[in-house]
Each structure stands twice: as C-alpha cells, then as structure tokens.
Structure 1
Amino acid sequence: MGKRISINSIAKDLGISITTVSFVLNGKAQEKRISDKLVKKVMEYVEKSGYKPNSLARSLRTGKSNIIGLIVEDISYPFFSTIAKEIEEKAYKNGYKIIYSSTENNIDKTKELIEMYKDKHVDGYIIVPPEGIEDEINALYASGKPVVVLDRTLKDVEVDNVVVNNYDSVYKATKYLISNGFKNIAFVTLNSLQSQMLDRLSGYEQAIVEQGLMPYIKEVSYIDSEQAKKHILSFIERKVDVLDAIVFATNYLCVSGLKALKELRLHIPDKMAVVSFDDYELFEMYSPSITSIAQPTGAIAENAINLLLSRLKKQGQDKRNQKVVLPTTLIIRESSEK
C-alpha cells in the first residue's frame, strides 16, 4: 500500500510486455492489433490498482502533454476571464487542458511564465503579450510550438493573431457622438504603446480631425482604480467648462471615470456623455446605462482556440500565419443620448 503503481509493475503483474501496456494506456491498442481481451485485462487492473500516469513522463515519451498554456494580462478582468472560460471549454472538448496565468503587463514575469510552461511541455500557447516579449515569442515559434497572439499585435512577430478592429470601433463611436450633437469630446486612454491602445487613439483622432474639432486626450498610467480616478477627476476639472463627452479606452478606465464624474456631481448625459470601449455587465444596470463598444468575446475565444487546435493537428504543414480581425458592436444606451 502507498507504493506508486508504474507501467513496469503492471506489465510484471500481468505477465505481458511494458510496450503492450504502454500501447493500451496511450490508446494505440487497435492500431497495434492488441486483442480486446488483453485491453480489458489491462484496464481492469488499472482501475483496481488506482494507477495514475506520470504526465511529465508521458509527455516526454509521446511528445504531447495535451496541455495548452494561456497567458493573459489579468485573469481578474471580465474580458480576459470570459475568454479564458470559453477557451478552456472548447479545449477540454478536444482533449486538452488549460493552464493560465496573468502577466500584469510585466515583461520579466511573462518571460518566467513562458519558461515555466516550457518546463511543463505544453503543446501550444495563447498569449496576450506585453511589449518587449517579441524575442521570446519568436523563439517559441522557431522551436515548432504553435503560438496565437490575442488582443493585440507585436511588431516583427509573425504568428497567428486574433484581434478586434480597434481603430474602426472607436472611430465609429466618436462619429456617433458627433452626429448626436456632441462637439467637445475627450478620449481617456492608457499611457501605453500597446497596438490596440494606439489603434483606439488613432480612431478617435481621425474622427475628430475629419470634423475640424479640437482633440482632448488624457493618458493615464494605470496603477489601480483609485489612482486612475484621481487623474481623470483632475483632467475633467480642468476642462469642465469645455467638455461635453468622454470616450474611455477600456471599461476599467470608464469605471474610474464614472467615480470621478459622480464626485464632481456631473450628471450623465446632461453634463457629460460617456462611451466605454469594452462592455461590462454592470454598465447595463448603471443609472443611466452606459453606451459601450462590445467586443465579441465568444468569437475571439473560438477563433483563438480553433487556430491553435488546427496547428496542433497539422503541426509543421502550413507555415502561413493567419490574422483574424473581428468587428465590435456599439451598444447605444442612455449615457450618450441628448
């Protein structure tokens, strides 16, 4: 009792070869023409003995761990947690398990996570990368591991990619505000060089320039919601006699902005219209409800895992990388109506 059961001990107790036991446990009995009677004998022994295979040893033996590594910015954010759940469900149905971690946009932490996943011999990676991690992702790809980059793009990194049309989304949202009579529209974004943030800023600037309006841009170095609120509140106070609308580049910036507007007693939308990039379930229940650019989380997750599964099934066959660009939906609610 307490002794770990091994393939060797199963083979010895049943009087058969280690290779035969290995073929049965790895689902190759039919391929190797092992009789149903012998398969049943092995499986009954396994069930009674409580044998559990060593996953690392099996991955070294077969070259597959049936594990996918998912690395996101912050798993606590609704956007990433929703995508992670849907990826996990689809992966499980296809015989894969997911292990996931958060980078918090920290380059060193991301490098450590990639090394940890390499040690676990994961079969493929879905990564939401911070800037500065290009070499590591290129090295993974060069090693033959399939990689899908999610939510953003990286310069000089040629791997499969799933993003939304960030530029077009914010461009249309800003144009909608302008058509609704708002002319002094601010854009509150992160102080970031991430591709999706730059694209959202460009969409806002293009819509403003086309109408000959004045841009009002506030970049926030996000530490936490309270610090973000203070920076946004200070910005609004300086422009309170000018601004009539604000577009927030993320839903968590919008949450901080709503706190700032409440503290300043600026009623939405009478004193300030609000639009958030990335919908959030509480925005629908907020009073007034918040107009949002909704990302298709289901389609993002499905495309990401489908690309990776396709690569895993056809490893090394198709070197052409795919870029999937998905549309968003502008959900118009009370916060943007005059």
Structure 2
Amino acid sequence: MNRVSLKDVAKKAGVAPSTVSLVLNGKAKQRRISDTLAAKIQSVAKAAGYQPHPVAVHLRTGQSKILGLIVESISGSFFAALARTIEQEAEKYGYKVLYCSTENNPLKGRELIQMMLKHQVDGYLITPAPGMEKDIQQLVQDGKHLVLMDSYFEHIDTPYVLIDNYKGIYTCMDHLLKKGYRKIGFVTVDLELVQLQQRLLAYHNACKAYKIPATQQPVLKIPYNEPTKNITRHINRFLNKHKTLDAVLFATNYLGVAGVESLTHLGLRVPDDLAVVCFDDHDVFRLYPPGISALQQPIADIAKAAISLLMKQLGASKGKIGKQQIVLEGKFIQRKST
C-alpha cells in the first residue's frame, strides 16, 4: 500500500497542500484558517490514514518529536513503571518515545545509541550500563540533549535524576538496628554501578555506626543476568552458610522476590526466624504474608523530573534549567517482616 501524502489529503479536502500543512502543524489560528475548514482537513487526514514522514518533519522543523529511552531491562518492574510515566509525560509535550533496553551490556548500549542517532531523536533518557562511559561522553561532546536516570558517571558532567541510594539503604539498616537486629546479611548484585556501590557503602557504614565488626557483615554478590532459579540457589547457600543471621537486606526488588522464594523453600518464617527488608518495593512484598518492609523508590517523580530537565534543554518547557543533578528521597514502607 502506498503511503498517503500531504498532497493526497489536500486533494481530498479540496484545498492547497500548504493549507493542509498549516493545519496539521497547529498553525490554523495563526494563519486565520477557519475552525470549520481546519476540522474538515483533520477529519480527512485521519480518515485517509495520513502520517507525516519523520524525515520530512525533521527537515522542516529541525525536530523529530521523538525521544530515545534506553533502560536496563524492559522486564524489570522499576524500569517498566519508569518507562510508562516517561511516555505519559512526553506525550504532554507532543513527543513520542522510542524504548529499548541494554540488559547492562555496554556493547548493546552503544548499538542502541547509534540506532537512535540514525532515527534523529531529539533527546536521550538513559539508565547507563557499566562500560558506556565513552558513549555518554561522546553524546555530551556532540551537544546532544541528554538526561541520565537511576545511575551516572562521576567524571562526566551530565544532568541526572536518581534516588538517594545511600540514604535509602541507611534508612533500611537503621530500622533493623533500632529494632535490635545485629546479625544482618546483605544481598546485592555484582555490578560496578554507582548506585550499587552507594548501597553497599551505606550497609557497611550503618554496621560501623553500631560497632558491628567487619567480620560480622556477610555480603552476597550475585552475578547480573543469572536465571531466577540460580539466584534462589545462591541465596539458599548464603542463608545455610550463615545460619545465625537474624535479618537480611536485599539491595534490589528482584533479589528480594527471589529471596522470598528461598525463604519459603528453606521453611524459614518471617519475621520469627528471619527479618526481611528490601530496597525498592514490589507488589509481591505487599501480598506475601506477613508483608515485606521495603524502601519505595519515587518512580513517578524520577520520570517527571527527567522529562522536565530534558524538555528545558529542548526549549519545550519555559523557565531556566536550574539544578541539573537531582537526588530524590525514597519512602520506607514498614510491614510485618521486621
């Protein structure tokens, strides 16, 4: 089927192509085109299935009206919720979102950036994987509009939005320690990401503040991209090795979900045998009896702040850009697991 052109719409509506262009680009009132005629043209365009060619739009306006969103994982609940809000917020400014994931593979991340460059996206929203430093730096050097989310590279000056990872884990630890727990295990991901490093540092510093020896701070680092059954096995072995633990803190919600499965498999009761807290909430934690305490990330706020920063860079939002590094606080949700 041949693509419906602007000239086809003009012929069906009985007007000049320039009139159709003005109406479809929102300039009808500016050029004193009547509401009746504008409505007719829009109706004809819709009925004919007219879609403006993205290359033509870019040549005419200098914008594609498309944003590139690159996240860690499409399947992750955090990133899915983040993408959903970003799509909703972008639509308010007339932008569509091209959405894909790296699975924390820097080579894939590089390929996705190159693909988005070819699509001439107007701006980038990226949760960067380890090893993507050069690609991010190149976008900055090329003057591309960019906001990082959930993580950043300390030596690259870019706008970013993320939760206060250090304070979030410290809050979880402070809750457990004030409850009297002293033998607290920490389960995290074996990745060199700044947010994970901050979470691990907060765990150790909280232990230090309560004078818990380093030898009594057991940490399990699980390789990224492990199948769920393998993650559960890792946690099983960790808990069997450290039978004296009275609490465990999970650094991500997908580790926490696997941890709940592990506890069930081992026949451990929560909180009678083991108290449990997780950084980043999940529906499972609300539904699993007796309910798992968690540090809830402000996902909607992260997405809205990132879009706001990007829109100001693009000139689509009024006002000064202002602060470009935004760190938001999480909310501790206490349930009966502690």
CA apart distance, 1:302: 1.2
Residue aligning to 1:298: 300
CA distance 1:325–1:13, change in 2 (3 Å): closer
Aligned AA (1:94)? Y
Could you tell me which residue of structure 2 aligns to residue 234 of structure 1?
237
Residue 335 of structure 1 aligns to a residue whose secondary structure is coil
- Structure 1 residues 181 and 308: CA distance shift in structure 2, 3 A: same
Quote how far apart the aligned CAs of 1:218 are. 1.1
**1:151 partnered with 2:150:** yes
Q: Against the structure 1 CA distance between its residues 47 and 250, is the aligned structure 2 distance closer, same or farther, given a 3 Å change threshold?
A: closer
After superposition, the Cα gap between the structure-2 partners of 1:4 and 1:248, relative to the gap in structure 1 and judged at 3 Å, is closer
CA distance in 1, matches of 2:287, 2:87: 28
| Paired amino acid for 2:120 | H
- Corresponding residue of 1:270: 272
CA contact (8 A) 1:134 1:154 kept: yes
Whether the 8 Å CA contact 2:12–2:44 is kept in 1: the answer is no
Number of residue pairs matched by the alignment: 332
Matched residue SS, 2:337: helix
Which runs of 5 or more structure 2 residues have no equivalent in the other structure?
none
Amino acid at match of 1:271: D
d(CA) in 2 for partners of 1:13 and 1:285? 57
Q: Please state how far the C-alpha of 1:185 moved relative to its aligned partner.
A: 0.6
2:151 partner SS: coil
Q: Is the 8 A contact 1:159 1:321 kept in 2?
A: no
| C-alpha distance 203-8 of structure 1, shift in aligned 2 (>3 A) | same
Question: Which moves more between the two structures, 226-235 or 3-12?
Answer: 3-12
- Cα deviation per residue 1:214-256 (whole Å; 9 max; x = unaligned)? 211111113121111111111111111x211110000111111
d(CA) in 2 for partners of 1:5, 1:269: 64
Aligned equivalent of 2:169: 170
Which amino acid in 2 is paired with 1:228?
Answer: I
1:132-147 equivalence runs, <5 A: 132-147=131-146
Which amino acid in the other structure matches residue 178 of structure 1?
L
CA contact (8 A) 1:134 1:156 kept: no
Q: Find the counterpart in structure 2 of residue 116 from structure 1.
A: 115
Contact 1:200–1:249, Cα closer than 8 Å, also in 2: yes
1:88 aligned to 2:87?
yes
Q: How does 1:4-15 map to 2 (within 5 A)?
A: 4-8=3-7
**Match for residue 199 of structure 1?**
198
RMSD of equivalent CA atoms: 2.5
Partner of 2:67: 68
Note if contact 1:21-1:42 (Cα within 8 Å) is conserved in structure 2. Answer: yes
TM-score after normalising by structure 1:
0.89
Displacement of 1:321: 6.2
Q: Partners of 1:236 and 1:44 in 2: how far apart?
A: 64
Alpha carbons of structure 1 residues 38 and 276: separation in structure 2 relative to 1, 3 Å: closer
Q: Is the 8 A contact 1:165 1:325 kept in 2?
A: yes
Q: What is the distance in 2 between the residues matched to 1:229 and 1:49?
A: 54
| 1:212-227 → structure 2 map (5 Å cutoff) | 212-213=211-212, 214-222=216-224, 223-227=226-230
What letter is aligned with 1:109? K
CA distance in 2 between partners of 1:58 and 1:331 (Å): 47
Structure 1 gaps of 5+ residues are: none
Structure 1 outlier segments of 4+, above 3 Å: 2-5, 7-25, 28-31, 33-51, 317-321
Mapped contact 1:66–1:122 kept (Cα < 8 A)? yes
Contact 2:183 2:246 (C-alpha < 8 Å) held by counterparts: yes
In structure 1, distance between residues paired with 2:48 and 2:254: 51
Percent of matched pairs sharing the same residue? 39
Letter in 2 for 1:279: D
Alpha-carbon deviation of 1:23?
Answer: 3.8
Q: Residue type of the partner of 2:197?
A: L
* Residue 22 (structure 1) shift: 3.7
Instruction: Give the structure 1 partner of residue 258 of structure 2.
Output: 256
Distance 1:320 1:141 in 2: 18
**What letter is aligned with 2:265?**
E
- TM-score, normalised by the number of residues in structure 2: 0.89
- d(CA) in 1 for partners of 2:12, 2:272: 80
Structure 2 distance, partners of 1:81, 1:186, is 29
Deviation of 1:46 (Å): 4.0
Whole-Å separation in 1 of the counterparts to 2:80 and 2:9: 42
Aligned pair in 2 of structure 1 residues 77, 8: CA closer, same or farther (>3 Å)?
A: same
In structure 2, the residue matched to 1:332 is 334
